[in-house]
Amino acid sequence: MFTKQRALVVLMVLLIFCPRPVAAHPPSDVKLSYDAPTATLHIEVAHLAKNLRQDGIRQLVVYKNGQELDRITVVRQTTPESLTKDFPLEAVAGDTVRVRAISKGGGYLEQTIVIPLLTPLREEENEPPG
């Protein structure tokens, strides 16, 4: 006879020993900066990953002016707390650059920057100190 106590024990055993999916969580922050002289987009993604095999950032998607440029597959985050990536990118003042960071659990976070107008150095800044 199947009693309530027996059913409870079976349920508890199943809950303890059955694998549960890891709670997916998106990155907590994405920071972007652009270095015009080297034509490089610097990407920093904050994402806490306790187990880098099952959690972490899995992909970066880079857009310029609304057009997808590249999908970068990430094998492993730089550290358990973050991912840092430099991406070669030709851009001019006024271009809009957007990056979507996607975690292995499926959550994502996006950040957008507009490339600023570069101001030329004044003559006295170009001269060596003397």
Q: Where are the domains of the chain?
A: 29-116
Query: Nearest CA to 91 among 45, 42, 46, 126?
Result: 42
3-27 pLDDT, tens digit per residue, is: 777 777 776 666 666 655 545 688 9
- At 68-115, the pLDDT tens digits run 999 999 988 889 999 999 999 999 999 999 999 999 888 899 999 999
DSSP secondary structure letters along 90-103:
---TT-EEEEEEEE
**Looking at the domain 29-116, which fold is it?**
Immunoglobulin-like (2.60.40)
Task: Identify the pLDDT of residue 78.
Answer: 87
Which residues are 73's β-sheet partners? 59
Alpha-carbon distance of 30 to 14, in angstroms, equals 39
**CB-CB contact of 77 with 48 (8 Å):** no
Q: Given this model, what pLDDT does residue 32 score?
A: 97
SS3 content of the chain, % helix, strand, coil (to 5): 15, 40, 45
What is the value of pTM for the model shown? 0.72
